[in-house]
Amino acid sequence: MAEVLEVKEEKIIIDERPPVGEERVFTERPPGVAPIKPEFIVKKSPNEETTSTNGDQSKPNKNKRRGMNKKRRNEMHKADLIVRAKTVRLCHSAFRDVPCKFGEKCNSEHDIKKFLEQKPADLGEKCPVFDFRGTCPFSYACRFGNAHVDAEGKQTTKEVDSPYEETLNSHSSTGVLFKIRKKQYDYSKTKEILKAIKENRIGSMEREPVRLDMKSIRGKRYLAPLTTVGNLPFRRMCVDLGAEVTCGEMALATCLLAGNASEYSLIKRHPSEKIFGVQLAGGYPDAMTMAAELIADNFEVDFIDINCGCPIDLINDKGAGCALPTKEKKLFEVIAGMKNAMEDIPLTVKLRTGLKEGILTADKTISYMAKNCRPDLITFHPRSKEQRYSKAANWSFVEPCVKAADGVPFFVCGDVLSWEDYYERLEKNPIDGIMIARGALIKPWIFTEIAERRNWDIRSNERLDLVKKFVDYGLDHWGSDDMGVEKTRRFLLETLSFQCRYLSPFSFFKIVFLFRYIPVGLLEVLPQKINDRPPTYVGRDEMETLLSSPRASDWVKISEMFLGKTPEDFVFVPKHKANAY
């Protein structure tokens, strides 16, 4: 068992930062290790170092605890199918008093009384969906159903403080998916644009003035598009905490054009997102132009971003992500086609330093775009495709790229985890703003810290309130029935896993470092550096220790506080193997 050092209340004080020009030196702390106060560090016993996970007194196989769980999606998908097969669901026709469109083939329950006899106990006394909307569309199937049932067992409604606003960009109300799947959608504008590009007369085509001058977002707090975790409930929470510009998760142009419903969920927008963009990825000018036309004509967006920075091989093998800037002609066709198809909607581009580490090509790409197919804003992540997210971002390469942009509004993203990092980078670099990515994953309240220029020593109960807020927003978005509850749980666990995870670059699967939020009151020196590896530590109370845990089993415990016990066959596989121990 690990020995926990005594926690002394009188020492829980935030140390003042050293005066400018002075540094505090801690000789006992190895380089790259977070400066946590000694009273919170956990000492490992000699036996613990040599004990494997199955209790044998032999050295554990470290290779089994390294790298990515590549089969995790399949494992979780199989488990979901088993859980769904065992779950009794109430058909919507039962409480809407309409005929079931599936008839005898429907595998859901139609008898409300019989359903209620089999339904598990409610998860809580209050229904978040009912509180937000004044009514719950999931009726008797809601896992908080008693909150909106009267003494006679009938569904009720109530007045809410502010009128409920439906989620924007809902494909179900526009009929877009129906037209796409039936191949009835009219892409005549795209055909004309692609023809003009082929005949070298695209420059003569007039484009309307953009509705949003991207220079107007200078200095605004910008939440980056985040795959998997940058969902609508997370963005909504970040807006509450001070984010001013948001962008949806990366959507594949080809999947949108195929009518993939799950892909359209990535471009949904909450009414609280005042400046909202959609990010598209693709390597084919025709597909990207058609997707841009589709979004511009049917959905409420303030800008569309081209993903030229995704390092995933699956995306790059199709000519998208980091591979797109390497082909100037295709890049020109994509940008020129999309700009003309989008009419008055701004077009932005996000890219990296290049493909290989140490071979910097972004300045040439940016210069080419500025001269030939000028975007309305450029976001730069100073890391290469090969580098992924390891090592420090190369901020020294920012200024040459800004000069190459020739006046195009320029944002940078990379290694910002505190308000000090944020303003220091703004002051030292001739840029228009900073996009926050991993910093928002590790601590979503970074936007509050930036706005108020302070280190927020957020306590465990406040962090738990944010988890509750995410859960409430998730239930409002994904639903409060059985399926909605489990989907909310999945994304909550993904969010918790991104806040505390091991980072493995390239394909070698050697653990480089663990990034995790460390409470301000536990640090000897502020601010926390994003690449500092934290030693094993305890918090100031049990909940703070639990919220800091890198173990997937502890994340599940946190989810059960708000969403009840996991189903019998529930499986959550963390992205990185080390998190499973």
The residues carrying an active-site annotation are 310
Helices assigned H by DSSP within 171-309: 171-174, 176-181, 188-198, 232-240, 253-257, 261-264, 285-298
Task: Give ∠ CA 253-257-259 in degrees, rounded to 5.
Answer: 120
**3-state secondary structure (DSSP) of residue 315:** helix
Report the alpha-carbon distance of residue 145 to residue 164 in Å, rounded.
Answer: 19
List the helix and strand counts (H, then E) for the chain: 23, 12
Instruction: Provide the β-strand partners of residue 352.
Output: 381
Q: Cβ(545)–Cβ(435) under 8 Å?
A: no
Alpha carbon 537 to chain centroid, angstroms: 27
Instruction: Provide the β-strand partners of residue 68.
Output: 576
**3-state secondary structure (DSSP) of residue 306:** strand
**3-state secondary structure (DSSP) of residue 46:** helix
Report the alpha-carbon distance of residue 513 to residue 530 in Å, rounded.
Answer: 10
Q: What is each CA distance from 64 to 59, 69, 76, 552, 577, in whole angstroms?
A: 12, 10, 19, 16, 7
Select from 183, 188, 189, 303 the least CA-distant residue to 248: 303
Q: Residue by residue, what is the 3-state secondary structure of 321-379?
A: HHHHHHCHHHHHHHHHHHHHHHCCCCEEEEEECCCCCCCCCHHHHHHHHHHHCCCCEEE
Count of CB atoms situated within 10 Å of the CB of 558: 20
Count of CB atoms situated within 10 Å of the CB of 393: 23
Q: For residue 155, which phi and psi values (nearest 5 degrees)?
A: -70, 140
Q: Cβ(1)–Cβ(43) under 8 Å?
A: no
Report the alpha-carbon distance of residue 493 to residue 457 in Å, rounded.
Answer: 23
* Tokens (6 digits) for 458: 């957020």
* Tokens (6 digits) for 356: 């290989």
The number of CA neighbours under 13 Å toward the Cβ of 81 is 6
Report the alpha-carbon distance of residue 166 to residue 171 in Å, rounded.
Answer: 12
Q: Is the peptide bond before 382 cis (omega within 30 degrees of 0)?
A: no
Report the alpha-carbon distance of residue 572 to residue 489 in Å, rounded.
Answer: 10
Residue with tokens 């499986």: 571
Task: Give ∠ CA 126-127-130 in degrees, rounded to 5.
Answer: 125
